[in-house]
């Protein structure tokens, strides 16, 4: 079936109606051929398309493919703020620089209509990291745990009760004598594609807010 012509309106219609990261990535993959034929002068459209397509790779944990995508992007858009931010984020994700990842996602300017995928990726990254930390550590200092999950490590290190409660809400145990958090392992279970409905998503929403 032929796809509707790629335009800003069509791109954002796809973004607003797609329910899963896999669906989003699949549709945008089909649109890449059209994107390659668009005039390089259409900087706004191309920058928006490749920014959202880039995030669809991250949302489906295709880091190598996201890196390859940056090599295929049209030269005229590489210096736009949005694409430069994507490159910075890719480097931080690749190097597992947690503080930089959250700073880039939260503080750098992103196109208004791409805000939803940026927020979705922050939630996805927190969920993934929470699971990794929960399954990797028997005990962890609050500041380190806070850094992994994008919380204030200084408050955590000072034993801030609100911060500690955000971890205990995940099922972690706080030992006030040793000043250590004891993560609760996360047991993987089959789930539907829409991660926003999972228990981890609800936990991360609690942590984020």
Give the other-Cβ count within 10 Å of 51's Cβ: 24
Burial of 48 (0-12, 13-18, 19+ CB in 10 A): buried
- Residue 201 resides in a domain: yes
Rounded to whole angstroms, how far apart are CA atoms 126 and 146?
Answer: 11
- Residue 159 resides in a domain: yes
Q: What are the pLDDT digits (tens) for 114-139?
A: 999 999 999 999 999 999 999 999 99
pLDDT of residue 52: 97
39 and 71 share one domain: yes
33 and 111 share one domain: yes
pLDDT of residue 63: 97
Residues of the chain with pLDDT under 70: 1, 188-209
Q: What are the pLDDT digits (tens) for 148-171?
A: 999 999 999 898 999 999 999 989
Is the Cα torsion angle 122, 106, 74, 2 positive or negative in sign? positive
pLDDT of residue 194: 41
pTM given for the model: 0.87
66 and 123 share one domain: yes
75 and 107 share one domain: yes
pLDDT of residue 159: 86
């Amino acid at each position: 079936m032929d796809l509707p012509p790629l335009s800003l309106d069509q791109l954002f219609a796809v973004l607003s109606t797609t329910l899963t990261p896999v669906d989003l990535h699949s549709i945008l993959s089909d649109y890449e051929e059209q994107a390659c034929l668009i005039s390089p002068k259409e900087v706004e459209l191309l920058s928006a398309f490749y920014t959202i397509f880039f995030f669809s790779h991250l949302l489906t944990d295709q880091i190598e493919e996201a890196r390859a995508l940056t090599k295929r992007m049209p030269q005229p858009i590489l210096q736009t703020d949005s694409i430069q931010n994507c490159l910075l984020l890719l480097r931080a994700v690749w190097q597992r620089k947690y503080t930089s990842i959250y700073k880039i996602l939260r503080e750098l300017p992103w196109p208004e209509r791409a805000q939803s995928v940026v927020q979705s990726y922050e939630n996805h990254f927190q969920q993934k990291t929470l699971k990794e930390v929960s399954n990797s550590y028997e005990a962890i200092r609050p500041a380190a745990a806070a850094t992994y999950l994008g919380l204030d490590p200084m408050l955590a290190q000072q034993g801030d009760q609100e911060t500690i409660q955000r971890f205990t809400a995940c099922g972690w145990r706080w030992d006030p004598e040793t000043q250590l958090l004891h993560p609760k392992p996360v047991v993987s279970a089959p789930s539907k594609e829409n991660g926003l409905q999972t228990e981890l998503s609800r936990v991360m929403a609690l942590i984020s807010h």
